[in-house]
């Protein structure tokens, strides 16, 4: 039986932005949407989706740069399909 493999770089090709995670330059999908929790707490919630193989050693506390803004990884969430969600906070 042949294992199914997918080129996940196509996932980031259309909507991706250049980013640096630690010392690794890669392309990821960045979202910094406004969040409102029940009208009590509001703010932005920056997230960078990356191909897991592009940043296999990404860890909490690592630096991330998107454009000219510096962030720190607050949480790493691999989804098990080859994509990792990096929850960020401004540095």
Contact 51, 82 (CB under 8 A): yes
Asked whether the beta carbons of 77 and 59 are under 8 A apart, the reply is no
Q: Quote the CA–CA distance of 28 and 9 in Å, as a whole number.
A: 9
Q: How confident is the model at residue 44 (pLDDT cuts 50, 70, 90)?
A: confident
C-beta separation of 77 from 87 below 8 A: yes
% of residues, the chain, pLDDT over 70: 95
Among residues 86, 59, 58, 62, the alpha carbon closest in space to that of 72 is found at: 62
**Per-residue pLDDT tens digits for 16-27:** 999 999 999 999
Q: What angle do CA 81, 31, 54 make, to 5 degrees?
A: 40
- Give the pTM: 0.85
Q: Is the pLDDT of residue 1 over 70?
A: no
């Amino acid at each position: 039986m042949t294992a199914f493999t997918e080129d996940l770089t196509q996932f980031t090709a259309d909507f991706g932005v250049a980013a640096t995670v630690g010392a690794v330059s890669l392309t990821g999908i960045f979202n910094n949407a406004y969040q409102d929790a029940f009208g009590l707490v509001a703010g932005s919630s920056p997230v960078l989706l990356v191909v897991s193989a592009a940043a296999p050693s990404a860890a909490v506390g690592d630096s991330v740069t998107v454009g000219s803004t510096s962030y720190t990884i607050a949480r790493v969430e691999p989804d098990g399909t080859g994509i990792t969600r990096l929850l960020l906070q401004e540095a």
